[in-house]
Amino acid sequence: LAGIGYALFLFFTRKLKLGFGLVPLCALLFIGSLYLSIPLFGANLNLNFSLESLILLLALAFLPTIGGFYCTTRALSLAKSNSVQLIELSEPLFAMLFGSLFLAQSISFLQILGGVFILFAIFVHEFKLKL
C-alpha cells in the first residue's frame, strides 16, 4: 500500500509539475498519513503510548521522513525520476552500514550480496552499460 502511494507521488509530482517547497511536502505527508491510516483503523488495534514513546515516534516521523521527502522532491526537480529512484535504492546500503557502525549489528553474506546487486544496478543504469 505504501509502495503504491509512493509511486503515485513520484508520478504526479513530475507529471503535474507540483512545487517542491515545504508547503506541498507537508500537504503530501498529510494526505499520505490519511491514505496509510485506512488499514490501521480496520485492524482494531489497542494502542497505548507513553509520552516518551510518542515523542520518539514523532521525532522518527519528522526528522528522517520529512528530510528524505524533501531531498527526493528536490532531486526530482533536478533529475529524471528513474535516476532519482535508482540512486535512492542505495538506502538499504546506508542502513546496513550505519547499523553495523553505530549499533554493532552484524552483516550477513546475503546482505552483502544484496548490496552488491544494488550497486551493480545503479552503476549499469547510470552509466548506460549494455550487458
pLDDT tens figures, 63-104: 777 777 778 778 888 888 777 877 777 778 888 888 899 888
Are residues 121 and 68 part of one domain?
A: no
Tally the domains of the chain: 2
Whether residue 84 lies inside any domain: the answer is no
**C-alpha cell read off for 21:** 517547497
Q: Which of 119, 53, 48 is nearest to 87 (CA)?
A: 119
Q: Where are the beta strands (DSSP E) in the chain?
A: none
Do 96 and 75 lie in a common domain? no
Residue 127: domain span: 89-131
Residue 21 lies in a domain: yes
**40 & 101 share domain:** no
Of 125, 118, 120, 116, the residue nearest 82 (C-alpha): 125
Span 8-32, average pLDDT: 70
Q: Report whether 24 contacts 59 (CB < 8 A).
A: no
For residues 79 and 90, give the distance between their C-alpha atoms in angstroms, rounded to a whole number.
17
